[in-house]
Structure 1
Amino acid sequence: MPGRGTHRRPKPNALTRGLIAAGTSGVALALPLVSATSAHAAQPTQVAQVTKAAAATTLDVQLLTYKVVAGDTLSKIAQKNPTSGGWKKLYEANRAVIGANPAVLSPGLTLTVGTKTIKSSTASKASTVTPASAKTYTNNLDGWIKHSLDIMAKAGIPGTYNGIYRNVMRESSGNPRAINNWDSNAAAGIPSKGLLQVIDPTFKAYHVPGTAMDPYDPVANITAACNYAAAKYGSIDNVNGAY
């Protein structure tokens, strides 16, 4: 990953985005019509049960990883994993883990060598839905991005799944514990951290209330980075390199 200089330092303007929290999805209740047949008051209406048909095919993006063993080189690993795109792309996708020298691979390193999309079908069934049913997210990159997008939507922060995913893969290969220890920010004592490689001052300035105050927290990191990208570039979708 190329050095970023001071490009991640926050702007002097104070953050003005409103307080947000992860949203819940409401469901409208159908009320039966009751007609009065006399001058007497109508009987209290009964709330009808709401059913939800869940018959959908969902797509989950799963990271393919490889654990380095003694004697491995990027070329050998790329040959074993054709979807990696060759050793150069493999290095770019894992630079945050490998470091500045692509010729040196430490045994035990876990590298991202590609992705695969998994289809999962849910059989149709009727279920009672309560108005306050909470939305849940998977504890992986797909779930972190979707959770962040829901928070961003409530805060008016622009961005799409593809824009976030593309930048995450370039910056950290999907590793929420990634840290840059070699560029100018690291030399200044404020290394870039997390999925979208944000330095601490930028994270604090663009942190979105309602998310964790931890730059390594996946959802907090994505949301703060997208908030920063929106302020500087209009959207994370407009970011195609070091930012």
Structure 2
Amino acid sequence: MPAKGKHRRPKSNPLARRFVAAGTGGAALALPMIGATAAEAAPSTAPAVAQAVTAASPAAAPAKAPATYSVVAGDTLSGIAQEHGVSGGWQKLYEDNRKAVGADPSLIRPGLKLTIGGKAAAERASAPERADRSAARTATQAVAKTTTYANNLDGWIREALDIMKQHNIPGSYEGIHRNIMRESSGNPMAINNWDSNAAAGTPSKGLLQVIAPTFQAYHVPGTANDAYDPVANITAACNYAADRYGSIDNVNGPY
């Protein structure tokens, strides 16, 4: 809006003609502004500026660029698609990121970068409440990323418990620790090569001595697809125990 009031200048100077640029995004429009000698003359230029800006706005509106999302432990494609309003759901998200995810959409690892299309970004902008929830979830994930776990039995159990909580898998520190000490004495590379499972070609492996078919059936998304990985082994075993016994806390012997 032009400033009100008179601008003093010597009478001998010619009428000053100035130009202002009205910008909208990347476009700019040069508009003449005639120096006024009286306050009441200034408002006459305002409608022209407003009309120019209004006319230029639609053509200059930038398109929404695709967003990049970094997977954290416990994430699933369906959960990410829901939180980010992906049109077409997890199937569309998987199709857009098939090369990065691989053949199995249930196996997404922490740190994996997913591309979320521009349409989803536009929908987030038009839904403030959903955007607020997404921002809150991102903040929570940022905190989770900064959480560090010791690379020992205590750290593995605590990390597993945090992941289990996200997936509603029951279990306590004491229940997990007790069963680990019985099954492997805390050795993540433990393997049983002598029992009936070994004879059948599926030896029990890892902290909680899980055979390969059980590990694959109860593998928790977001953890490593490796039965020797301590956290993946614990979470898969607890998922299995929850399905069969109600909780790993209810296991007090071979299971």
What TM-score do you get using the length of structure 1 for normalisation?
0.47
Asked which structure has the greater CA Rg, the reply is: 2
Indicate the structure whose relative CO is greater, using CA pairs within 8 Å and at least 6 residues apart: 1
